[in-house]
A = this chain, B = another copy of it.
Amino acid sequence: MTSSYGTTLRLTLFGESHGPAVGCVLDAPPPGLPVDLGAAARHMARRAPGQAGPWSTARHEADLPEILSGLFEGRTTGTPLAAIVRNADTRSSDYAALLRAPRPGHGDLTGRIRYAGANDPRGGGHFSARVTAALAFAGALALQWLAARGIVVRARVAEIAGVADPSPVDPLGLFSDLSAKPLAAISDEAAAAMSAAIAAARADGDSVGGVVEVRAAGLPAGLGAPFFDRVETRLGAMLLSLPAVRGIEFGDGFACARRRGSENNDRPTPSPDGSPARIRRATNRAGGAEGGITTGLPVVARLAFKPTPSIAREQTTVDPETNAEVPLRVPGRHDPCVVPRAVPLVESAAAFALLDLLLASRATSLP
């Protein structure tokens, strides 16, 4: 079992970049939940290539999912929900030479070893970011079901190529909906500078990385556990599984390591309704979790994305057949920055992990 996530609601991803389809199975959502396929498709379109902007390739993916099971008259049946997105507009010939010239920074070499040379090399096979279309779909449903319960998950571009979005965000709240923006930074100026940095890298045949911040507001206090079911563990296991992610931090993260305890603790403040479950905190340096369990404040995480390893400029690699160093110009079209398209994917991934956690928390009491 290698492409499955979740304890209560289990997500399995399948598919290869140039195979018939990518897809997912959710085993199994609660019965009777409404599904808005149009909204899901719009969410997925934010992740799809072919968008306006310098960060995206010219490929076009319709990415319209076909539901194979688990949906009846617009609602979940409660049995496994399977969906696929057919692959199209693939140019296998672009990738033929890669077998002899594995791309640095990709899974070409490691995948060859792991799968004893049997994995599908076309377009990266199951390693392809194309597979995340299925994850985006699963997450789109999770986002809908959470939103119906007042839980809102939003991500933004916090940084690209060293250009940060300087916009202040209420640490106890959420930023506004950025889904209509071509590049989901709060500050339009920052977004413009980020776009320029991406365009400059592309002009150089190069790529840039960045940071995505995700915030989930509206979660009840009391989700998680002290050890391997920490909120951080569950979110981390999901978000560290996204391609190109190199690190994750919760709340103030690495900055906490340089503070004193008196500067880092979040001071509790009285509950607005007197119930202990609604005791608040004056700050949210902890990112919504203490002792691995939600405080009721927004859960906040930041993810580091590396620059796209597939770059146009020439690199050197090693031919695994001859063990000789060979020059490589990565063929095909590649985004010079994955961060803008990663924003809806991070929302999807985080929402799915939180939905699973919320469902699991139901099983901690008996009727």
The answer to whether B116 and A31 have CB atoms under 8 Å apart is yes
Known: A27-B12, A209-B259. A254 touches B264 (CB 8 A): no
Q: Which residues of B contact A315 (CB under 8 A)?
A: 262, 265, 267
The answer to whether B111 and A226 have CB atoms under 8 Å apart is yes
The answer to whether B323 and A270 have CB atoms under 8 Å apart is yes
Q: Which residues of B contact A159 (CB under 8 A)?
A: 257-258
Q: Which residues of B contact A243 (CB under 8 A)?
A: 226, 291
The answer to whether B10 and A260 have CB atoms under 8 Å apart is no
- The answer to whether the Cβ of A60 comes within 8 Å of any Cβ in the partner chain is no
Q: Which residues of B contact A81 (CB under 8 A)?
A: 14
Most buried by B among A7, A70, A236: A236
Q: Number of contact residues on A: which range applies?
A: 35 or more
Known: A14-B79, A222-B113, A257-B211. A279 touches B323 (CB 8 A): yes
Minimum CB–CB distance for A224 against chain B, Å: 7
- The answer to whether the Cβ of A191 comes within 8 Å of any Cβ in the partner chain is no
Complex Cα gap A309–B259 (Å): 11
Which one of A41-49, A100-108, A177-185 is at the B interface?
Answer: A100-108
Most buried by B among A3, A76, A201: A3
Known: A254-B211, A323-B274. A28 touches B2 (CB 8 A): yes
A:272-326 near B, CB below 8 Å: 274, 276-277, 279, 281, 286-287, 289-295, 304-311, 313, 315-318, 320, 323-325
A:234-280 near B, CB below 8 Å: 236-238, 240-241, 243, 245-254, 256-271, 274, 276-277, 279
Most buried by B among A6, A254, A311: A254
A:141-180 near B, CB below 8 Å: 145, 149, 159, 161-162
The answer to whether A241 and B227 have CB atoms under 8 Å apart is yes
Q: Which residues of B contact A271 (CB under 8 A)?
A: 318, 323
The contact of A325 among B28, B261, B269, by CB within 8 Å, is B269
Minimum CB–CB distance for A356 against chain B, Å: 9
The contact string, 1 if C-beta is below 8 Å from chain B, for chain A 113-143, is 1111111100001110001000000000000
